[in-house]
Structure 1
Amino acid sequence: MGIEKVIIIGGGPAGVAAALHLQERNQISCTVYETRSEPTTLGGAIGIPSNGLRLLDRMGLSDAMMKKGTETSILNLHSLKGNEMGRMDMVSWSRQQTGFGYLRIRRTDLMDVFLNAARKVGVPIHFNKRLTRVEEKNDQVTVFFSDGTSDTGDFVLGCDGIHSSVRKLYVDPDCTPQYSGISNVFSLVPTSELSPVASSLDALNATLTSDGMFGISPATTARDVIYWFFSREIAMPNTGDSRDGWEERGKEEVDRLKTTFIDLLGEYDSLWVNMLRDVVHKTDVVKFYPIFKVPPGRPWHKGRCLIIGDAAHAMPPHASQGVSMALEDVFLFSKLLCHHSQHLDAPDHQRLDDLLQSYESKRKARTEQMLKTAERNGDIRKKKTPLRLRVNELALSWGLWAYGAIGLDKMGIGQKALAYDIEEEQF
Structure 2
Amino acid sequence: MNAQKKKNPRNKETSGLDDLDAILMEVELETRKKAVAAAAKSTKKTGKGQGPNNKPPPAQTKSLSEQFEEEVKDLVPVDEQFPDGNFPVGELCEYTAKADDRTAVNRMTNEEKKSLDASYEETYKDFRRAAEAHRQTRKYARSWIKPGMTMIEICERLEAHSRRMINENGLKAGLAFPTGCSLNNCAAHYTPNAGDTTILQEGDVCKIDFGVHVNGRLIDCAFTLHFDPKYDDLVNAVHEATNAGIREAGIDVRLCDIGETIEEVMSSHEIELDGRTYVVKPIRNLNGHSIGPYRIHAGKTVPIVKGGEQTKMEENEFYAIETFGSTGKGYVHDDMECSHYMKDYDLHSEHIPLRLARSKNLLNVINKNFRTLAFCRRWLDRLGETKYLMALKDLCDKGIVQAYPPLCDVKGCYTAQWEHTILLRPTCKEVVSRGNDY
Give TM-score, length-normalised by structure 1. 0.25
Give TM-score, length-normalised by structure 2. 0.24
Greater per-residue helix proportion: 1
